[in-house]
Amino acid sequence: MKIQTSVRVEEEFYQEAKKVFKKVGLTFGDAVNIFLAKVSMEQAIPFNINIPQKNILDDNYPAISKNEAKKRVLEAVESVKKGNATLLNQQEYDDEMNEFMKTL
């Protein structure tokens, strides 16, 4: 026996998913029924649900360890002491950081 139910979904996901379902000849309802059947048969969510463990900080720069940060600061201080430091304006700094980020 089938029942009717209602769910709230993100419109963008719904529209994109409908395109995929259409390509394989399924309706949204068919896809939901397949998902529910799989959950019922396996007694589990039929795919892994993981929280991505990005090693990226909120500012989109890669996270580094405290020891690595300390090492880099000490290297920078030594560079300044030896007169090897270069003063950059904001645009030059941004350009260098963008190039550096491409290497990661």
Residue 31, pLDDT above cutoff 80: yes
Instruction: Determine which of 25-34, 61-70, 83-92 has the lowest per-residue pLDDT on average.
Output: 61-70
Task: Report the share of the chain in percent with pLDDT over 70.
Answer: 87
Q: Where are the domains of the chain?
A: 1-49, 52-104
Which DSSP string do the residues of 38-58 spell out, in sequence order?
HHHHHTS-SS--------B-T
* Per-chain mean pLDDT for the chain: 85
pLDDT band for 78, please (50, 70, 90 cuts). Answer: confident
Q: Could you give the CA distance from residue 104 to residue 100 in angstroms, rounded to a whole number?
A: 7
Residue 61: per-residue pLDDT: 64
